[in-house]
Structure 1
Amino acid sequence: MTLKLHNLLFPILILGGCSSKPSYTPKPEHYQDRQLHFIYQRGKYIERVEFHRAIFSTGEIDNFGNSSETSSKLFPDNVVESKRDNLVAFVKENNRIGLFDLEKNSTIFQYKFPTVATIDRRLPPPKFEGENILYFTLDGKVVIFSIPRIRIVKVFSIGTGEDYPNVVDYQLRPNDLTLITHRKAMVIGDGFDEEVKLNLRGAIFESDAIYLITKDGEVRKYSRKLELEKKIKFPFAYFVTWGEVEDKIYLIESQGYIIELDRDLENYRVIPAPELEDINCYINSKKLVCDERFLRLPLQ
């Protein structure tokens, strides 16, 4: 009897373990089955997308609609680096930050933070801001470094203790700094700091609002002090690309859908784009770029 029961349960367990994950299905009232007119640019495709810019096979960088020529990193073993004049600020795989002087051909500063075993190594590149440099580390710290004094002047611990602690996006304004990790959004201002804990894909920053894109298909609109104003959910959606063009928010869903959403999160439409499955996409101020093709935005 036991053997018969085992033989019955085994195929049930196997079949149960093979069940597919639910996927996003657009609501009929928002679905528009229309033809999208992509423009092809043969021989020029996206190699990778990193921190608000697309890097093409031709060596060209598209930085939110502004194009420039680029070369490979000055130091290939750097996770990220930024250059201003003769100075190169960098973060290495072992979580060491530093500053290299090209004229002197020497490292004039370096400091080692704790090594972390995170799978996601995405980081914003160091930012030169006046006489300071803003570094983002793999263990979830934001470091302010003074160039004239050649020393660290302040360290903020943002994602310490999280399984994915690294900052993946940020916006620096005159009176505040907004930071996005995989697990939270945080605003540090003059005399205040606020945070919201969510499983995040990323963010869209506006002058008077922050849109947080979650891993479970939500778009949440917050004030600049992280007060929730409105939210909308697309069940089982997984967004791979997002951005804003004029008065619209665009979301690319992994199953091959383009969602065009009003900024107030009231109205939206969903357009099928099966050709966008499993390819690199990027949204700048004028168009959606996907590998060798692009689509002018906003949609008509």
Structure 2
Amino acid sequence: MRKFTLLFVLFLVLILSGCGTKRQYFKPESTTAKAKLTHNLPSKISYATSNGATLKNGNIITKNGLNSQIKLKDGFVFLGEYDGNIISANTNGELNISDSNGDTIFNKSFSSAIVSASLENNLIAAVSASNNIYLLDLHNAQTLMQYKSSEIYAIDSRVAAPIFLSTIILYPSLDGRVYVTQKNGQILRDIVISSESFFNNVIFLDVVDEHLIAATAKKIIVVSPQKTSQYSAEIKNIVRDNHNIYILKKDGLVTKTNLDLEELASAYFKFAIFSDALIYNNKLNIIEKTGYLIKTDLNLNSHEIIELSSEIQDKSFISKDSFYYDDEFMKFD
């Protein structure tokens, strides 16, 4: 009984001490301007990934902007657009591919929800919420490959999509791996990024000049024919610009590296909570969740901070030239 009481007291101490901790927020010394999201969307954002967003009315936002001609079926969310074809899925495990007119050209049900997918010609590469990877033939609805990776317990909302290369496919798993497969479904190898027990899905996947770049929320690696480079951090976002990588960290630090992950420059924004980021017009544009737009030069030497009209409290998305939030958006200049 005495042991139980001691544990209970310790529990209360931890809870009370946590409640007494005051949250620190990003407070820039000065701002250069104020900005509003001046353009309206036809509906609010209900779901967002790194590839796009779904509006409550079924319209979608792709990297190219709002597509009000597409209206997804109820319960479906947008996963990606490839050569004009739209990939969507629902929580019941149904995957749907439609053409630019919205007509279904492929539909299949899986045992768990598909969380990311890509399409090339007749091949569909998909990753499910239960950490299965699939290769499907769209023309004959044949499953060319199904492989279950290790069990997962929790995933980050950011899930990268598979990448088709000339002869292989790269699959980002939910347990911190990248699977390299042939286009006939044969798995050639797997690359381990990190081995965390929770929130260890691949959040970023890219290839440039024989360099494979992959990251989880804890580590980024770059694999090239010459070597493998690693960089550990609490990662919020990653942006690539040609041969440079910008790592936005959860502590408010932005670090610029080369493809070998060697640090080239950094900038610190105390207590900043990064939401989205992109490079536009030779500037790194960063949306900060408490309501700011941070614009830095690409060498991180100078910056300006623009105050937005509201905090970013819900789902948002960045396209090639605009920031979308709630039922509004603004274009970058």
Of structures 1 and 2, the larger Rg is shown by: 1
**Structure 1 residues 251-260 or 208-217, which shifts more?**
251-260
Structure 1, unmatched stretches of 5+, are 1-9
Contact 1:242–1:249, Cα closer than 8 Å, also in 2: yes
The residue that corresponds to 2:158 in the other structure is 122
Match of 1:100 in 2: 136
Cα deviations by residue, 1:196-228 (Å, 9 ceiling, x for unpaired): 111100111011311100001010111121111
Q: CA deviation at 1:71?
A: 5.8
Query: Which of 276, 301, 304 is the matching residue for 1:241?
Result: 276
Are 1:18 and 2:20 an aligned pair? yes
Q: 1:17-75 CA deviation, whole Å, 9 max, x = no partner?
A: 333211111023xx23x342432324233332212433334433321558584363325
Q: TM-score, normalised by structure 1?
A: 0.85
Give the secondary structure class of the aligned counterpart of 1:143: strand
The alignment partner of 1:275 has SS state of: coil
Q: Is the 1:143–1:154 contact (alpha carbons within 8 Å) kept by the matching residues of 2?
A: yes
Which secondary structure state, in structure 2, belongs to the residue aligned with residue 72 of structure 1? strand
Normalising by the residue count of structure 2, what TM-score does the alignment of the two structures yield?
Answer: 0.77
Report deviation, 1:161: 4.0
Among 175, 178, 193, the alignment partner of 1:142 is: 178
Shift of 1:259: 1.1
1:200 aligns with 2:216: no
**Contact 1:54–1:63 (CA<8 Å) still a contact in 2?**
no
Task: Indicate whether 1:43 and 2:42 are aligned.
Answer: yes
Structure 2: state its 5+ residue gaps.
1-11, 71-85, 90-94, 96-107
Q: Do 2:116 and 2:127's aligned partners in 1 also have CA atoms closer than 8 Å?
A: yes
SS in 1 for 2:22: coil
Which residue pairs with 1:90 in the alignment?
A: 126
Aligned equivalents of 2:314 and 2:151: distance in 1?
Answer: 32
Shift of 1:164: 3.1
How many pairs does the alignment contain? 284
1:72 aligns with 2:88: yes
Are 1:225 and 2:225 matched, yes or no?
A: no
Give me the CA root mean square deviation.
2.5
Deviates more, 1:124-133 or 1:70-79: 70-79
Change in 2 beyond 3 A, CA 1:123/1:37 = closer
SS in 1 for 2:310: helix
Is contact 1:95-1:138 (8 Å) kept? Answer: yes
Larger mean Cα displacement after TM superposition, 115-124 or 49-58: 49-58
CA contact (8 A) 2:287 2:294 kept: yes
Distance 1:145 1:79 in 2: 19
Q: Does 1:55 align with 2:38?
A: no
Q: CA deviation at 1:103?
A: 3.2
